[in-house]
Amino acid sequence: MKTYLYHLEFPLGAHFGRQGIGLEETQESLPSDSLTSALLNAFALMGEVSEALMALQEENPPFVLSSLFPYGPDPNNGARRLYALPRPMTSPLMTKTEDLQRAGKELKKIRYLDPRHVLSWLGNRPMTSEALEEIQKSARRLARPWNADTGEGWFSTCLRPRVALDRSSQNSVLWWCGVIHFRPGAGLYGLVRFRDESWKSRLHAAFALLEDMGLGGERTYGLGTFRFHGFVPLEEAWPNVPVTHESAQFVLLSRYAPAAHEVPELSAVLKAWDFEESRGFVVTGRYATTLKRKRVHFLKEGTVATRSLLGRLVDVTPDQGPDLGLSHRVYRSGMGFWFP
C-alpha cells in the first residue's frame, strides 16, 4: 500500500458545519464520511458510482481516505508548510509522571500536533519535560486564526447575512451563516492510501470534477469550490517524517465504524476513543433533497488503537426513501485510516 498527500485551496471560502450547532458556526476541517460521500456523488456524475461502491464494500477496498485537516505557512519561515494532525487521545509516555501531571490541563487544550510529534506521542520511548515543552510550543503555531496585528494565522471566519421568506406570508427572517476563509498558502489537506493503484487516476478525475461542485454547505453561493493539485507521495511531502515508522499504537485520522467481525475485539484493541454523530440530508448528484438520512455514530479522529482496523461503509438510507422517490441507497464511510 502506498500513501499520498494532496492539497485543497478554497479561494472563495467554505462552510463546514458542526453537528448540532446552527449555521453560524463553521470548522476548519472536514470529516472523511462527508468527503467520501462527495466523491461518490462525483463518481455518479462520471457514471462509475456502482463500480466504486462495489469496490469500497470489499474486504480490502482499493483506497481509504482520511479526513481533511488544515495546513499553512510556518510563521518563522513562510516558504515552509506546516501540517496539523489531530492530537491522540492517549497521554504520552513520560520519564517523570509529575511532568505530565503538571502539563495536564494545557495538553488537553491542544487540538493539533505536527506529524513528527504525533509519532513521538505514540512511541514507546519516554519523553523528557523539554521534549514535551517543544511539542507544546510547536502546537501553538498550528491552525491558528488570523491575527491582523501580527499578520500570522491560517484562516479567518466571518458571518454572512441570509434572508428566508415565509412561503405563505412572504415575511422575511434574517439569519447568518459562518464562512471560513483560508489565508494565502493555507488550506486543507488529506491523505489517501491505495491498495490498488489503478484507482489513482479515477480518484484524481473525481476530485477534478468535485473542484467546481464544491465541498461543505452553502455551495449554491459558491462556497466550497477548491483547487486540487494532484497526489504527492507522502515521503516527498513529509521528508522529515518516518512514514514507515513501526509503532505499537495508531491514531485514527478518519471517522470509523467497526465491521461486524471487528466488534468483539474493540475492547482489547482501543486505548482511547470518543464518538461523534453524523446526520443530515441526502444529496444525490448535484442536488440536495429534503430527505434526512439515518443517524450513525462513528469513532472520531484522534482515537488510539493498538492496531489498524478496517471499518466499513454504513447504509444510512431513510426507511421511507424509496417510497418518497429516492432511487438509490445512501452510504456513509466508516473505513478507518490509521497513522502511522
What average pLDDT does range 111-127 have in this prediction?
Answer: 90
Q: Which of 18-22, 38-42, 140-144, 273-277 comes out lowest in average pLDDT?
A: 18-22
Q: Distance from first CA to last CA of the chain, Å, rounded?
A: 12
Mean pLDDT taken over the chain = 87
Q: What integer pLDDT is reported at residue 240 of this predicted model?
A: 86
- Three cell numbers written together for 245: 515508522
Give the tens place of pLDDT for each residue, 152-208. Answer: 888 888 887 878 777 777 788 787 778 889 999 999 999 999 999 999 999 999 999
- Long-range CB contacts (< 8 A, 24+ apart) of 268-271? 268/306, 269/305, 269/306, 269/307, 269/309, 270/299, 270/303, 270/304, 270/305, 271/89, 271/90, 271/304, 271/305, 271/306
Q: Find all residues with CB under 8 Å of 283, minimum gap 6, and list them.
A: 37, 41, 289
Give the Å distances, CA to CA, from 164 to 173, 270, 282, 310.
Answer: 5, 46, 21, 43
- This prediction's pTM: 0.88
Q: How many Cβ atoms from other residues are within 10 Å of residue 227's Cβ?
A: 11
Rounded CA-CA distance 245/338 in Å is 13
What average pLDDT does range 211-226 have in this prediction?
Answer: 84
